[in-house]
Amino acid sequence: MNVDFAAGDCGTGPFTWGQEAIWQTIERTWPDDHYFNFGQVLKLPRARHIREVAAAVGALVERHGSLRTLVAERPGTTRALGQHLEARGRLPVEVVGAAPRDVLDKLAATRFDYERDWPLRVALVTEGDLVTHVVLVFCHLAADGFGAEIAVRDLRMLLVRGRVPGPRPPQPLELARWQAGPEGRRVAATAAAHWEREHRRVPATMFAASSQDAARPPIWRALLASPALDLAVRAVAWRHRVSTSTVLLAATAQLAARYGGHRTSAVLPIAANRFRKDTRGIVSTLSQEGLFTLDVDRPFPDLLRPAEAAAVRAYRSAYHDPADRRRVVAAESERRGEPVHPGCCFNDMRLADPGPADCPPERLDAALEQTTLTWPLSQDRLNCRFCVHVSAEGVSLTADTRYLSRASMEGYLRDLEGLLVETARR
Amino acid sequence: MIRQRLAALVEESSDGEVTAREAMASGLPLSALGLTSIARMRLIDAVEAEFGVEVDLSEEGLAVLDDLDLLAARLSDR
């Protein structure tokens, strides 16, 4: 079936910084860019008629411009891409009777045609005549994880109350205008100064040497599900009065430097960039990479306080204009006569942080027995050599085995667990 | 006045997890009151936007940000 939508706003403009950043990443990953598709399943509090749910989906798309925005050439420019917001359109919606998770995987399995496909795929999962679940799959240009959360929350409100209370949410075209204006440029200049300063001292890349043991396909993901690591992170954060995210980032950075053979670590943490009032409620992709640098040649506990401050600076630098970053990277690469890019990123995707908490050693020991390591993904291309993701499922490492073999990937995750558990035990 | 306004920004940045009243009354570091790292990032933006300053993001600068009285004193000395 199709859902028609008709909103009051339309227009064309430059990408926001977040859209520009994910667009560059998508282009570098093509044709494996379906990697960035992701979705959510909304279980309805009670089953509803198809037409009711379809109307709510239409209202959701009308409310959030991002969900009816396509990539387009900007008028008056040659080959400069930007965002084009359509007021009206027709969104295809599948009606299926299958397991919601399978439906999500199927909808997410193919890449979006960014200039033609609406950036939202929807399926209504039915039992008999009634809808029990709504499956939403997002193109990463339309939303990041936090943006998708807002969309799902609003869809639930539209179904339950028929409207979403509160003011109209901010829209990507407005954000792009703010970013290009004087206040946006001031923020961009501060961030650019950080990128420039820190680039002077980072290794050209964190994993430069060949692993001599490339797998086929070359990109693999190892997932460590470790209740012991989770407990240890909270305990270390509690003991050293830093955030759990800082503990994970500092450990990731120190071990990456050890495996790559460096004293200074450079990691690109992905920040939600939803710190400002004008960005908190927006459905869009705001998350971008910041630059985290730290001299890691010292015991791990001594790293934590400096890592906390370095993390704040890195997360601040994530709200930047990708054009500034390109300029900084090109200048530094030219100065050194070799390409400079850490090739090492960190994404703390946990929507809820359990927070610091002490843990007795015997509980850590008991939890260690539950650790599992699996290999859930492999593919041909990725825009990075080394990506650590933290989620409710565990800590995963997605790496290019031409630089870090599968055995080393597993060793890295086991060492990460060991470092954190040992530190928590002391 | 600055102290009160800062306490209100703490409440806003933390989505009410740390109330203005708690921030004013406790004398404890804001992080000890439960100001998360995301709330702290929001507070930095809010202080910069409202007071027209650039928050010092060194270890020492963040220690000031964690102490309502110190932060208020620094801002009134500007």
Tens-digit pLDDT profile for residues A390-399: 999 999 999 9
Q: Tell me the C-alpha distance between A147 and A319, whole Å.
A: 16
Q: How many CB pairs under 8 A join A and B?
A: 41
Q: How crowded is the C-beta side of A250, counted as CA atoms within 13 Å?
A: 31
In chain B, % of residues over pLDDT 90: 68
Whether the CB-CB separation of A276 and B45 falls below 8 Å is answered with: yes
Which neighbouring-strand residues pair with A225? A372
Contacts of A354 in chain B (CB under 8 A): none
Give the confidence band of A78 by pLDDT, cuts at 50, 70, 90: low
Contact state of B59 with A305 under an 8 Å Cβ cutoff: yes
- C-alpha span between A91 and B74 (Å, rounded): 54
Query: Average pLDDT, whole number, for chain A?
Result: 95
Q: For residue A73, give the 3-state DSSP assignment.
A: strand
- The token pair at A167 is 């003011």
- Minimal CA separation from B58 to chain A, in Å: 6
- Domain segments of chain B as ranges: 2-77
Secondary structure (3-state) at B74: helix
In angstroms, the separation between the Cα of residue A187 and the nearest Cα of chain B is: 10
| pLDDT given at position A74 | 67
Task: Quote the ipTM score.
Answer: 0.88
Among A70-79, A96-105, A124-133, the least confident range? A70-79
The whole-number pLDDT of residue A76 equals 62
Of A15-24, A36-45, A249-258, B69-78, the poorest mean pLDDT is in: B69-78
Residues A23 and B31: their CA atoms lie apart, in Å, by: 36
Classify domain A201-425 by CATH architecture. Answer: 2-Layer Sandwich (3.30)
**Domain B2-77, CATH:** 1.10.1200
When pLDDT is averaged across residues A405-421 and rounded to a whole number, the result is 98
**Peptide bond between residue A31 and the one before it cis (omega within 30 degrees of 0):** yes
Average pLDDT over residues A5-29: 93
Q: Is the pLDDT of residue B54 over 80?
A: yes
Residue range A2-178 in CATH 3.30.559.10: yes
State how far the Cα of A27 lies from the Cα of A16, in Å rounded to an integer: 16
Lookup: tokens for A368 = 């260690």
Q: Nearest CB to A315: which of B41, B49, B59?
A: B41
The whole-angstrom distance between A93's CA and the closest CA on chain B is 36
pLDDT tens by residue, B16-50: 999 999 999 878 889 888 888 889 999 999 999 89
Which of the given ranges, A162-166, A346-350, A413-417, has the highest pLDDT on average?
A413-417
Examine domains A2-178 and A201-425 and report if their fold is the same: yes
At residue B77, the pLDDT reads 84
Mean pLDDT across A138-163: 96
Taking the C-alpha atoms of residue A186 and residue A295, their distance in angstroms, rounded to an integer, is 29
What pLDDT was estimated at residue B27? 81
The torsion of the CA quartet A404, A409, A415, A416, rounded to 10 degrees, works out to 100
